[in-house]
Amino acid sequence: MSFTAKSNEIFNRCIAYYHLQDHVDSAINNPFEPSSIEGILYVKNWIDTVQWHLEDIIRNPAINPVEALVIKRRIDKSNQDRTDLVEVIDSYFLEKYASVKVHADATINTESPAWAIDRLSILALKIYHMEQEVDRTDASNEHITECQSKLNVLLEQRKDLSTAIDQLLADIEAGKKYMKAYKQMKMYNDPSLNPILYAKK
């Protein structure tokens, strides 16, 4: 099984489990060893899935402003957790391919494997929720047709992205490409870099 086939299977399993409870405070119940790549991928998608629904909640026009601020803070924390997990996944690949002899003419990709897998995780959520729209019985035929068209595009996008990621990993393993993992220099959460925060000292 290719890496993306395994990833997509894990993402779908995670999303399906979340929707059994369908609540942002549900327990994760990771079925994999937490330190394994499977366990890390599951946690990554769980973070994305919970955040997807937090983003839905905060867009309610009638939401209480105090509740909205609490959710906004939670989304900020979720974004940081998501970034941290991407770096963990890239560390997995760096270790896995550490002994590969890189060709002299090897090139670097525009994004690391883990950031591409991040997009694959989000795509799994888009597909799930678009399928929900297609299956609605209370929507117009026009809505269903439009959503089916969008779903077809999303499914094609997942196929293309999966192929591209697997090819990238094969090229890295063969030494045709090399990877670097840059730490995300997020400034707004850092009290020493956000002027609003360090001005309060």
pLDDT in tens, 124-167: 999 999 999 999 999 999 999 999 999 999 999 999 999 999 99
Retrieve residue 123's tokens: 């795509």
Which pLDDT does position 173 carry in this prediction?
Answer: 97
Longest Cα–Cα distance of the chain, Å, equals 59
> DSSP readout, 92-103?
HHHHHTTT----
Which pLDDT does position 194 carry in this prediction?
Answer: 73
Nearest to 46, CA basis, from 6, 17, 87, 84? 17
Nearest to 32, CA basis, from 21, 44, 40, 22? 40
Q: What is the pLDDT of residues 168-201, one digit of tens each?
A: 999 999 999 999 877 776 666 677 767 766 776 5
Taking the whole predicted model, whether its pTM rises above 0.85 is answered as yes
Any alpha helices (H) in 22-140, and if so which ranges?
37-58, 65-96, 113-134
Residues 194 and 188: their CA atoms lie apart, in Å, by 5
Return the domain boundaries, the chain. Answer: 3-188
